[in-house]
Amino acid sequence: MSDTIITMANGSKWKPSTSSDTVHCVNCDNAVDTPEEIASYPTGNCPDCGESWTGNERRSTSITVTAPEAISGEA
Ligand SMILES: [Zn+2]
């Protein structure tokens, strides 16, 4: 995952918070997190266990709350 960097007018750089919504296979806990898997969901099969996506996959939302963190400008 690439970070988005916000550059403020004064030249300081900040990283914003991010969130991601991840679906996990009910059969093997494989996460639908690669472009191929996302493309196959929800009509294809889980590439790990070969079972078809059922629509009952566990969905978890992970929110990474990153307090604005200065990554440049240190004295
Ligand atoms: Zn699976």
In the reported structure, the alpha carbon of residue 51 is separated from the centroid of ligand 1 by a whole-number distance in angstroms of: 6
pTM assigned to the model: 0.53
Residue 46 burial by CB count (10 A; 0-12/13-18/19+): exposed, middle or buried? buried
Q: Token pair for residue 47?
A: 């590439």
| pLDDT, tens digit (0-9, with 9 covering 90-100), for 3-52 | 677 788 888 877 777 777 788 999 998 988 888 888 888 899 998 999 99
Judged by phi (left if over 0) then psi (alpha if -120 to 50, else beta), residue 33 lies in: alpha
In the reported structure, the alpha carbon of residue 36 is separated from the centroid of ligand 1 by a whole-number distance in angstroms of: 14
54: three-class secondary structure by DSSP: coil
